[in-house]
Structure formats: structure tokens, C-alpha cells
Amino acid sequence: MCLQCCGTCCVYLQEVSGLKCDQLLSSGQVLPRECVSGLVELAGNPNTNQTLTGSIISLLAKLACDDDSREILNSSYNLTSTLASVIHCHSATAGEPLVLQCLQVLQKLTYNTRVFQSTNYIHELIAFLMTNIQSQNEDIIMPCLGLMANLCRDNHSVQSHIKSLDNVKRFYRTLINFLAHNSLTVVIFTLSILASLTLNEKVGEKLFDAKNIHQTFQLVFNIIVNGNGTQTRKYSVDLLIDLLKNPKIADHLTKYQHFSACVSQVLGLLQSKDPDSAGKVLELLLAMCSVSGLRSLLCEVVFRPAAPKLRAVSRRQGTGLDGGRKTESGLALVQWLSSPVDGAESCSLQALQLLNELLESVSECVLSFIEMLLPVLLGLLRGLDPSQGDAHIRKHCHRITHVTSLLYTHSHHLFHPLCFISFLSVLFRCFLRDLLSSLCLYLISQDQRIVTPLSLALTSQHRERVQTGLSLLFEATPLPDFPSLVLGESMAANNAYCQREAELSVKRVAVQEVPPFSILDCSSGSSRSVHSLVDKIQNGLEVKCVRVCWGKILLSCISKESRLQDLLDAKALALSQADRLIAQYRFQRAQAEAEACKLGCLLKEAERRREDLQGELSSQVLEVERSKADMEELLQHNARLQQDSEEHQALKGAYNSLLNRFNESERLLKELQTAHISLTKQNDTLRKNHEALQLQRELEETVDVLRKELNKTEQARKDASIKASSLELQKSQLETKLKQKEDELNKHSSMIAMIHSLSSGKLKSDVNLSL
């Protein structure tokens, strides 16, 4: 495709993107669907210019403006596979704008939508997401995390595929590191992925254990209340709903001490006018009602603070809600309950389901709330406007079904049973009659055949018919496709016809007063009557007869003129009807030409596809011939394989016999090994006994030696004892001698002392020296 054509296509796509495309795909029109199919095919072509591909993706993102369109783009056009293929083709340059654009559109398409593992390029897309989540590029991490959270949520096949990969532990570590990220959106995306992948595993038990779960609750509630965007709030609500599916975590939430305060702040979001935020809040409250321990706590938060004001409201007239009463959560819930069907249908139905869950418990505050709620519910049963179309009627009937279910389920709160039965009988008799009559009127009013009886009733002389026709006209005029112009023309024609009939009746009465002649005779030959009258005048007849004849002639002419006028009016009416039919024919012809043009385009497309299919068919024929040749080769190869199989069977038999012999030998070996082990044990026992005996013989020899030494020692001891006895004797003898010597010494000492005292110091020193 040349650059000029690409530029022109981009300009056209930008102009189309500026148009309003709401519910274009879900309208059922053929031409838009064919255009979208061509655009998706062009975007998936790798040879398409990137600028043109980006413009096409922008237009497709604008078309995916509601849930029905997203479902059609996923199921009918396989847009998810197409965008995944575009990402796969440009995976080497992950940071370019086209890849980021595809990731954002995929995140929008896959939200609350299950993507099957059999989808084309889904494995490549998961690998791309895991690789870029672990990269350092901050611009691509957030869209990759959001898309991964969508793919993993409630999708066991994708979860199993991710868990089977080799680098899943590294991926878990990266996700856990993201929990400390400064962006709350990244944290919520990460928690959502971890909850989907690891909630029932050991990693999830550690992440969401009793120590961490209260911090997680506080974080999620803070993001729901103070989040800076609808997207972050949506994913936060989805995360909390997924966590509540785990019984342990739900039990932890019932014990969370700040639960009432957090829920009160969440209920404050119902006071906003954003249906998306209110819808997610109501979805979260419905999920909390599924936990038995949370329902009673939630009922206290919703109803008890509003009880004093609700009693005052129930005494006032009407059911409208002013600004001051919107501050209470129960009143805000009723506000969404009574919201219009168009635009906030899901919020109204979710509010009805939530009330159906909360009204299970009976208390004074609940009864006060019911006193105010009952007139609102009865008001929802009215207000059906058939002029809004089939879609409006369908939505209104759907809400009426939920309202009646709520009234019937909680009849023990609203009425005594007998009173409630009578109430329902009256309600269904008044309301269903109006509903059925409105539906019948809506269908009949679009039929052209209603014009004739309605115009006759409106121009009738009977009072009852006119009143019935007027009431029917009053009800049918606001409806679409009502033939009001045709009805006016028909009524004008009926009035003109009645007026002419009245005039003719007066003239007939005047003619009948002349007895001699009849109008038929005069009218049968007016020219002949004129000539006869001239002859009579010429012949001198009486003037009276002439006047009578001229009167008859004039009456005949007047009658003919009135009849001609009637014919002219009838022709004019027929001409106007013919003009209207011609206009309708031209309009239908234009539609037929447009359809023929579409069919021509479709025929050309079919011819092109037929040529393509013809080429594919020829290629398939060649492929079949090649397949036949391959089949022959396969048959030959099969014969060789059969021969190899026979040889294999023979070898298998030999192998089995050898295997049996081997098993027998192995059995004998095991027996011999067992015998060897037992003999080895016996040998060890004998060796130990031998060593013990040898040790005992050594010990006996040692004992003999020691015994001999002991005898020698005993003999030496005896000798030493004898010697000691002799030494004792010698000692006593020596002691006796020593004592004698001491006595002698003492004597000598005393003598020396006497000498010393008698002699001088010199003598004393000599004595000392001698001593």
C-alpha cells in the first residue's frame, strides 16, 4: 500500500473516529460489521503501515464502548488474537507507541472477560508480559501488569500455564518487589496477580497470612475510598471480592476492627452520580453479603445510622430525596434503586439484589427503612412508557421482575400474609392489565390498517365511538411510527363525504316534491329534453310546463355536477394517496438501491473471495496430489515398518527370554548375596570370639607372671619384715644407749655450766669452742 493511500485512509479513520459510535456493532446492521471485519483483518496484516494500524486500533477502541460491543469484538472478530499478533510482531521494540496502544486496548477488552488458552498468540502474549514486567521500563510495566491481572483472574488454564513455566519463581520475586512501589495502581495490579496465582499455595499463605491481611484490608479500602481514578477503584474492588472467596480471609475480615468505619466510607461513594463507581460499590457489597458473618455487620452500617431520619421521611409526603437526606447510606441506596432504567440499569438491579440480601434480618431500623421503601417499590411498578421502544420496555419489565421478587420474598416484613395476597392480586390485576394493553397498543399503532376504523370512529355520529377513538388517539399519538398524516387525510375525506351526502339528501328531497317527472328521465337524455322543449315552445305550449321542464333540467345538471364533484374529490384523494404511495415507493426504491449497492459490494467481495477460494482450492488439489504421493511413500514406509516390527517382535521374544534368564540369575545372585552376608556375619562373630579368646589367653599369662612377681614380692616383704624387726631391736638398743649418752651429756653440761659460771669470758669462749 502506497504512502498516499495510507495517509488518506488515516484521515478517513480519524474522521470516522470523531463520530458517535455508541452501540454500532450491537445494532445488528450488516454494513458496519463488514467494515469492522475488514479493518480487523487489515490491522492483523504484518505488511500494513504502522500509522494505519494505529488509526484502526484507535477506531476499534472507540467502538468497544460498552459490554455488548466488547463481547462482539472478542467473539465475532477475534480482536484479542489480532492485537496479540501485532504485539508479537513488534515485541523487539516493546516501548513504541503502537505496542502500548495495543496493550491498553487489550486491557480494556479483557476486563471481566475470560480469554481461553486456545486463543492464537496467547502464549506469546503471556511470555511478552512476563518479560516486560521484569524489565526496567516503567512506561510499559503498568499496562503489562493490568493486562496480566485480567488474564489471570478466574482463568485456571492461564494460571496453570504460568505456573508451569521455568521462570515463575523469578516472576514471583519481581511481583513481591512491586508491593513496595510508589504507585498504588501498580500495587493493586500486583496484588491481583498474586491473589490469582498464589492464593491457595504456600507463597499466598505467607503473603496473605494473619499478620499481613489486615494491612492489605486497610490498603484496599483506602484505595477504594480515596483512589484517584475509576480504573484503580475497579481493580481494588475486584481484588477484595477475590480475597473474600477464601474462607480464611473472609473470616479475618469479620474480625477486622475497622470494618464498620471502612464500609461507611465505601457507602459514601453511593452519593456520587457516577454509575460505574456506584456499580462497583454495589458489587462489593453483594459479595460481602455472601459471607454470613459480614451480612449482619453490613446491615447495621447501612440501616442504623439512617433510622431517625427515615422515620421523619416516612411521615412526609412523596418519596423524593433532597440534598440533606442523601448523606445517609440507606437513602443513597434508595436513590440508585429509583434511578431511570436507561443509563443505570445495572445499578438499579444491583441495589434491588442488595436490599433482598440485607432485609433478611428484622430489627426496628429495618422496619423503619421498609416503611419508606415500600412506596418507592410500588412507584417502580408504574411508569411504563411504551413510546420509549422495545429496549426500554424490556429493561423496565426486567426491573419489575426483581421488584416483585423482592416484595414476595420479604412479604413477612411488609404485610400480614393474607393482606399481602390481596395486595398482590390487586397489584397484578391493575398493573398487568395496563402493561398488556400498553404492549398491544404499541404493536397495533404501527399497523396502517388502524387508520380506517379510527377515522370512522372519530367522525362518527355516536358519542361513545368518538370518545373511544379520542382516548385511543391520545394514547397512540406519542408512539413511534404512528400514521398520523394518513389518519388526518382519511378523516378529511370522511368529513367531505359526509358533507356532500347531506347536501345531496336535501336536493333529493326537493326533487321528490315534483310528481310528473323523475330525475332519472331528465338525466337520461338532457340534449333530447332540450330539443323537445324548444319544439313545445315553438308550438306554443304553456309557460308553466316550460318552467317545470327547465327546473327538472337544472336539478339534473346540479345532481350530475355534485356527482362529478364527488368523483373529483375521490380522484383527488386517490391522487394524494397515489402521491404518498409514489413517495413510499421512491423511498423503498432508494432503500432497495442502497441494499442492491450493498449486495453488489457483497457480491464483489464474494467474487473476490470465490477467486481466492478457487486459488486455495487449486492449491489444495496440488496439496492433495502431494498428499497422495506422500501417502504412497508412507505406505512403503509402513511396509518397512511392518517388517521392522516383525523383526522387533522376534528380538522382543529373544529379549524376553534373556530377560527371564537375567531375572533368574539376578534371583540366584540375590540368594547368594544373602548367603554371603550371613556367612560374613558368622565369620565376623567367629573372628570376634577368636580375638576374645586370644585376649583371654594373654590375660592368663599376665596373671601367672603377676602371681610369680607377687610371690617374690611377698618373700621380699617377709625378709624386709625380719630386717625391720631386727632394726627395731637395734633401734631400741640404740635409743637406750642414746638415752644413756644424753644423761652423760646432761651431766657434762651441768659441769660445764658450773665451770662457766666460775671462770671468765675467755674460759667461756673456750668452753663453747670445745663444745
- The one-letter code for the residue type at 750 is S
186-189 long-range Cβ contacts below 8 angstroms, 24+ apart: 186/141, 186/142, 186/145, 187/219, 188/220, 188/223, 188/232, 188/235, 188/236, 188/239, 189/142, 189/145, 189/146, 189/148, 189/149, 189/235
Higher pLDDT, 757 or 29: 757
Region 754-758: mean pLDDT is 87
- Identify the pLDDT of residue 346: 79
Torsion angle (degrees, nearest 10) of CA 248, 254, 258, 264: 120
Could you report the per-residue pLDDT of 614-639, keeping only the tens digit for each?
777 877 787 778 778 878 887 888 88
- Identify the pLDDT of residue 149: 95
- Identify the pLDDT of residue 8: 45
Q: Tell whether the model's pLDDT for residue 309 goes beyond 60.
A: no
- Identify the pLDDT of residue 106: 93
Q: Tell whether the model's pLDDT for residue 19 goes beyond 70.
A: no
At 145, is the pLDDT very low, low, confident or very high (cuts 50, 70, 90)? very high
Region 761-767: mean pLDDT is 48
Could you report the per-residue pLDDT of 444-468, keeping only the tens digit for each?
666 677 777 788 888 887 788 788 8
- Identify the pLDDT of residue 334: 82
Higher pLDDT, 150 or 301: 150
Could you report the per-residue pLDDT of 501-523, keeping only the tens digit for each?
776 665 554 444 444 333 333 33
Could you report the per-residue pLDDT of 471-486, keeping only the tens digit for each?
878 777 777 667 777 7
Region 737-757: mean pLDDT is 88
Q: Tell whether the model's pLDDT for residue 157 goes beyond 80.
A: yes
Could you report the per-residue pLDDT of 109-132, keeping only the tens digit for each?
999 888 887 788 899 999 999 999
Q: How far is CA 382 from CA 376, 434, 612, in A?
A: 10, 9, 58
- The answer to whether 256 touches 295, Cβ cutoff 8 Å, is no
Region 162-182: mean pLDDT is 90
- The answer to whether 573 touches 493, Cβ cutoff 8 Å, is yes
Q: Can you give the pTM of this predicted structure?
A: 0.55
Most confident of 5-14, 290-299, 530-539: 290-299
Region 709-722: mean pLDDT is 89
Could you report the per-residue pLDDT of 225-277, keeping only the tens digit for each?
887 678 888 999 999 999 999 889 999 999 988 898 999 889 888 887 788 88
- Identify the pLDDT of residue 1: 47
Q: Tell whether the model's pLDDT for residue 570 goes beyond 70.
A: yes
At 83, is the pLDDT very low, low, confident or very high (cuts 50, 70, 90)? very high
DSSP class of 253: H
At 194, is the pLDDT very low, low, confident or very high (cuts 50, 70, 90)? very high
- The answer to whether 358 touches 303, Cβ cutoff 8 Å, is yes
Higher pLDDT, 416 or 205: 205
- Identify the pLDDT of residue 27: 58
At 3, is the pLDDT very low, low, confident or very high (cuts 50, 70, 90)? very low
At 432, is the pLDDT very low, low, confident or very high (cuts 50, 70, 90)? low
Q: How far apart are CA 244 and CA 261, in angstroms?
A: 18
Q: Which of 310, 219, 213 is nearest to 254 (CA)?
A: 213
At 353, is the pLDDT very low, low, confident or very high (cuts 50, 70, 90)? confident
Q: Which of 251, 65, 236, 31 is nearest to 146 (CA)?
A: 236
Could you report the per-residue pLDDT of 359-392, keeping only the tens digit for each?
776 566 676 777 777 778 777 776 666 666 667 7
Region 175-180: mean pLDDT is 91
Q: Tell whether the model's pLDDT for residue 80 goes beyond 50.
A: yes
120: left (phi over 0), alpha (psi -120 to 50) or beta: beta
Percent of the chain with pLDDT over 90: 13
Q: How far apart are CA 243 and CA 526, in angstroms?
A: 103
Q: How far is CA 720 from CA 390, 710, 716, 730, 732, in A?
A: 141, 15, 6, 15, 18
At 543, is the pLDDT very low, low, confident or very high (cuts 50, 70, 90)? very low
- Identify the pLDDT of residue 187: 92
Mean pLDDT, the chain, whole residue set: 77
Higher pLDDT, 258 or 29: 258
Q: Cell numbers of 695, please?
A: 585376649
Number of residues that this document lists for the chain? 771
Q: Residue 534: in which H helix or E strand, if any?
A: helix 526-538
- Identify the pLDDT of residue 440: 62
Q: Tell whether the model's pLDDT for residue 153 goes beyond 50.
A: yes
- Identify the pLDDT of residue 445: 66
255-261 long-range Cβ contacts below 8 angstroms, 24+ apart: 256/214, 256/217, 258/217, 258/218, 258/221, 259/294, 259/297, 260/297, 260/300, 260/301
Could you report the per-residue pLDDT of 645-691, keeping only the tens digit for each?
888 888 888 888 888 988 898 899 999 999 999 999 999 999 999 89
- Identify the pLDDT of residue 148: 95
